[in-house]
Amino acid sequence: MNKQPRTTIIGILVIALYLAAPFYLSDYLTYLLLITSIMIIVSQGLNVLIGFAGLISFGQPGFMAFAAYFSTIVSKLLPGMPFPVILLVSAAATALLGLIIGFPCLRLSGLYLAMATFGFTSATYQLINYFKPLTGGYVGISVPAPRIGGFRLTGTDNVFFLVAVIAVVVILVVRNLAKTRTGRAWHAIRDDEIAASSMGINLRREKLKAFSFAAFLAGIAGVLYSYVIRYLETSYFDLMGLSLFLILVVGGIGRIYGPLLGAAFITALPQMLGGVFNQQMSLVYGFVLVGFILLAPQGFFGLFDRIRGIKPGGVSALEILRRKKRVAGSVEDADE
């Protein structure tokens, strides 16, 4: 009877401690927590795609880059526009781009969808570098400080409070979304597309919803990321695809709070290594990814469940791929 109130109180205390981080952490640790918060936002979108709807995508970095450059260009062309408007407009434009890309890409599934979205991300980088007059090309472009009213948010602490509040809101939205009719439809599609279709679920519409929602969150994260680093180059997004997928695998795919643990681990990993592998982090990420897939396919939360003696929740990437392969085989058999 007392479990729910106790959980609520603990959650409120954790959120309060999180929001008050700049008051007891150093500037550097606050910056790391800021980056972690942005990674949580974008990986929650990827969690919706892979963990909820079973759609393996590497398009989040492309959407992040698009939103970051879009918001920067809008800020330079319309310097008087307040930050909240720029954030919403950029996120909405990214969601619209997600719909446009989703129409052809979502005809695919499994590894084919992953390759198509990876191609979209690579093409986005090339297009950004091609439109040099607007984006600065390979040289890059400076990002104006965000403005709310007459205030310019220039310090790390100011930006942190803004990002932290948005991260908490995103987590709560995704948590509640999982319990809605749309969330249940996504889970049904992930588990078995044929069964979901037979129950009257419009597969194309629900997949587009998931794809657009994930792009929306990537757009928010991209805008916030641009305000943190204050200078944009496409190279800053190069390792994002692997990092985001690794965040889900480490934290637990399909778990609401999986991205929190995963993002914290991946952000802290270079610090724990002491900068020894700074030039080979892609190799380190690869070893970590293989290790978790083989030894802890449900991530940290799966390990916690095993310690507690219960069946691990969530899903693994290999399980999703197997399901997609079975669905593709069933469709081919039906065609024959």
Give, for all 336 residues of the chain, the pLDDT tens digit.
455 677 777 778 888 888 888 888 888 888 999 999 999 999 999 999 988 888 888 899 999 999 999 999 998 888 878 888 899 999 999 999 999 998 888 888 777 888 899 899 999 999 998 888 888 888 888 888 777 766 676 677 778 888 999 999 999 999 999 889 998 999 888 888 888 888 888 888 999 999 999 999 999 999 999 988 888 988 888 778 788 888 988 888 888 888 898 898 888 888 887 766 666 777 888 888 888 888 877 888 877 777 777 776 667 666 766 665 555 454 444 434
Residues 228 and 35: beta-carbon distance below 8 Å: yes
Domain spans of the chain, in order of start: 3-335
Element (H, E) at 34: helix 27-47
CATH 1.10.3470 applies to domain 3-335? yes
Please state the φ and ψ torsions of residue 95, each to the nearest 5 degrees: -60, -40
| H-only helix segments in the chain | 3-19, 21-24, 27-47, 60-77, 83-105, 110-130, 132-135, 156-177, 181-191, 193-198, 203-229, 240-251, 258-272, 281-295, 299-307, 317-335
Spatial neighbors of 178 by CB under 8 A, at least 6 apart, are 52, 187, 256
CA distance 19 to 160: 8
Distance of CA 81 to the CA centre of its chain: 26
